[in-house]
Amino acid sequence: MSRKFERFLMNTRPALLTALLATQLACGEASPPAVTVGPVSYDQNELLGLSTAHRRELGRLAAFGLSVADSSEARLGRPAVQRWEEDLLLDLLAAHRVLADAGVDDPVLEARYLTDPEYELTVRHILFFSERWRTPTHRAEAERKATRALTALRGGADFAETAARLSEEPGAEGRQGLLSPGREGAWVDEFWTAASALEVGEISAVTETEYGYHILRLGDRKIVPFPEARAVVIRELAPRVGDPLTLVEAWRSDEEAREEALDDAEELGLILPPGELEALRRRWSDMTHRWAAALGFRYGLSPDQVAVAARRALALSAQGAVIARKELADIDDVLRARYEIEVAEAR
């Protein structure tokens, strides 16, 4: 055994040493499947000494790796996102009932809303990609590029043309950096804060978000009509009038009561603001991006490469990888809804 391999074993998670060593010594004879996830399969010889718990963990990792490899993370997350949407609908229904019981009607709500309305913003932006997990060197270079672009803009360069030429966001060339109109919750907090602080026509300073460095230009600001903002208003006001949380907790603790409450919300025509729905989808996207980065999965891997990457991810001891594996365990039902995961008990 080489010194390099010995050092590798010494630094590998103790619970996996036996399994990894057994793989090195396996004679290559066919053995029954130990873990199967779609096109990914490990036989008993590969996983000798690996506990049943670690085999299940490996199955989850392989399932997630497959979703990253074929860029189907959004499809994978639909059950989770739907559950989050339902939770918000329960919050909305509870607030509606509390205010109705207190006799607070829509004219009162609208009058209050107009004292502090929501806004919809139209923004163009230029993005220099450099997520926060990138190296300091990578992030510093992206910030320098953003600073040079801002200098050109303040010197009179056209924002739309500059965005089309420099922005690293996919599709920016065609859209010239123009985003769909957004409301609070539609964009990450730092982006929204920077955009909402601008006057129409004003250009922001370089703004950092989890995606990199942005320059923003506010094109328009409109008040969101009350009917569209009602969901936000009643959830803000209800806790001052009654106790919506007690209703929500009762619905969430009983699946039958939960389904009945969701039916009531549908009958009342309660809907969530578009920005909140987008925020939920972004929440899932951000989670999967973080997991993929921490565990070493990437788009385009073959099933065989996913199998290798999943075994490697099982042995990673970095904090980000440990957290990612724990969070994947929390969505085991989501992974199993997307992939058939079969795990044989360890012998």
Residue 12, pLDDT > 60, answer no
pLDDT digits (tens, 9 = 90+) for 158-170: 999 999 999 998 7
Hey, is 253 helix, strand or coil?
Answer: coil
Interatomic CA distance for residues 185 and 279, integer angstroms: 6
pLDDT digits (tens, 9 = 90+) for 69-87: 999 999 999 999 999 999 9
CA distances from 43 to 209, 219, 315, 344 (A): 44, 59, 18, 10
In the CATH scheme, what architecture does the domain 119-223 have?
Roll (3.10)
Counted residue by residue, the chain has a size of: 347
pLDDT digits (tens, 9 = 90+) for 245-279: 999 999 999 999 999 999 999 999 999 988 788 88
Tokens of 327: 């969070």
Quote the pLDDT of residue 172: 81
Rg of the chain, C-alpha, whole Å: 25
pTM: 0.68
Confirm if 57 and 295 have CB atoms less than 8 A apart: no
Quote the pLDDT of residue 315: 95
Residue 22, pLDDT > 70, answer no
**What's the whole-number mean pLDDT along residues 281-286?**
90
Tokens of 316: 């990673």
Q: Whose structure tokens read 């006001």?
A: 237
Interatomic CA distance for residues 119 and 221, integer angstroms: 6
Q: Name residue 37's beta-bridge partners.
A: 40, 341
Quote the pLDDT of residue 17: 40
Please list the residue range(s) of the chain that carry CATH number 3.10.50.40.
Answer: 119-223
Quote the pLDDT of residue 30: 58
pLDDT digits (tens, 9 = 90+) for 226-241: 988 899 899 999 999 9
Hey, is 209 helix, strand or coil?
Answer: strand
Confirm if 66 and 40 have CB atoms less than 8 A apart: yes
Q: What are phi and psi of 169, to 5 degrees?
A: -70, 135
Those residues whose C-beta lies under 8 Å from the C-beta of residue 309, and which sit 6 or more positions away, are: 65, 295, 296, 297, 301
Q: Are strands 119-129 and 212-223 parallel, antiparallel or unpaired?
A: antiparallel
Hey, is 296 helix, strand or coil?
Answer: coil
Interatomic CA distance for residues 289 and 293, integer angstroms: 6
Residue 11, pLDDT > 60, answer no
Q: Which of 305, 265, 266 lies closest to 65, judged by CA?
A: 305
Confirm if 58 and 310 have CB atoms less than 8 A apart: yes
Interatomic CA distance for residues 197 and 237, integer angstroms: 25
Q: Whose structure tokens read 């080489």?
A: 2
Cα 111 to chain centroid distance, Å, stands at 36
Hey, is 205 helix, strand or coil?
Answer: coil
Confirm if 99 and 238 have CB atoms less than 8 A apart: yes
DSSP one-letter string for 5-50: HHHHHHTS-HHHHHHHHHHHH-------EEEEETTEEEETTTTTT-
